[in-house]
């Protein structure tokens, strides 16, 4: 038994006689290359189809993914006071709308009182229309969806999180938006962001949280099981057609770069 192979290789049958041969080969001494020290030759393999007819094999170059039906359920009524980040919600907070192609719109409040430079940086990308026709390029079930401008980033900013010496108590609850960064430095965030599909405490204090979803949880729930197997990619193209903002009276400053 070798459980480390499970889900990683295509198992498709099992021995029903000849276990003595399996045991004999298993006890043969192998070389450093894992080849047996004595040659084992398969003289032939025959098959008894039991009268059944099987289709021709399909090569990977000929395989076509079954299309995924885009049918996002309607959103249930959300009591904002029950959200785990409700204490940071305010009528004076800026609100962003993420427009997803074929999926609908998601709205989030940004929290400048917790991460002002991160919010100002994000707003600057919105005002520059840098989020038009972006892709969600990373999707991990019960973890995150991630997107953002890739080729037209401006500068790196200081990570506004407790692990970087800046008090930010907002945890990575489901619906929270946070900034992606390079693993080697807290101060490497640019435009890449991720939204939590579930509560993940291991990210707390390590990434700069700066807002939370107030509508569009139905989209999060729909996407949560759409991870492409054995990858960190979505199973289909998820296009962010645009991100717009209602400042609600908030006046952003220019973002402060680290350099």
pLDDT of residue 64: 67
Predicted pLDDT at 6: 84
Residue 249 CB-density burial (10 A; 0-12 exposed, 13-18 middle, 19+ buried):
exposed
pLDDT of amino acid 3:
82
Q: What is the pLDDT of residue 201?
A: 97
Long-range contacts (CB closer than 8 Å, 24 or more residues apart) made by 70-74: 70/102, 70/103, 70/236, 72/103, 72/104, 72/218, 72/219, 72/222, 73/218, 73/221, 73/222, 74/218
What pLDDT is attached to residue 57? 86
**Rounded to whole angstroms, how far apart are CA atoms 222 and 149?**
23
Is 177 in contact with 193 (CB distance < 8 Å)? Answer: yes
Below-70 pLDDT ranges, the chain = 63-68
Which residues lie below 8 Å from residue 244, measured CB to CB, with a gap of 6+?
96, 97, 99, 126
Q: What is the pLDDT of residue 105?
A: 96
pLDDT at 35: 83
What per-residue confidence (pLDDT) applies to 68? 66
Asked if residues 20 and 30 have their Cβ atoms less than 8 Å apart, the reply is no
Q: Using an 8 Å Cβ cutoff, are 240 and 136 in contact? A: yes
């Amino acid at each position: 038994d070798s459980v480390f192979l499970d889900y990683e290789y295509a198992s498709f049958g099992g021995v029903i006689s000849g276990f003595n041969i399996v045991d004999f080969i298993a006890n043969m001494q192998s070389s450093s290359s894992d080849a047996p020290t004595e040659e084992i030759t398969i003289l032939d393999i025959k098959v008894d189809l039991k009268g059944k007819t099987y289709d021709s094999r399909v090569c990977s170059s000929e395989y076509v993914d079954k299309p995924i039906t885009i049918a996002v359920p309607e959103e249930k009524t959300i009591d904002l006071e029950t959200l785990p980040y409700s204490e940071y919600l305010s009528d004076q907070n800026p609100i962003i709308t993420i427009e997803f192609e074929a999926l609908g719109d998601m709205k989030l409040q940004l929290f400048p009182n917790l991460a002002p430079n991160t919010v100002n940086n994000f707003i600057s990308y919105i005002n520059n229309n840098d989020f038009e026709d972006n892709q969600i390029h990373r999707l991990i079930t019960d973890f995150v969806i991630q997107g953002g401008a890739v080729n037209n980033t401006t500068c790196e900013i200081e990570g506004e999180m407790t692990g970087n010496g800046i008090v930010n108590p907002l945890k990575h609850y489901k619906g929270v938006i946070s900034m992606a960064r390079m693993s080697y430095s807290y101060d490497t965030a640019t435009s890449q962001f991720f939204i939590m599909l579930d509560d993940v405490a291991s990210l707390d204090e390590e990434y700069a949280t700066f807002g939370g979803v107030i509508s569009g949880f139905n989209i999060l729930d729909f996407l949560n099981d759409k991870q492409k197997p054995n990858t960190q990619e979505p199973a289909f193209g998820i296009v962010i057609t645009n991100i717009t903002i209602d400042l609600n009276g908030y006046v952003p400053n220019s973002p402060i770069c680290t350099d």
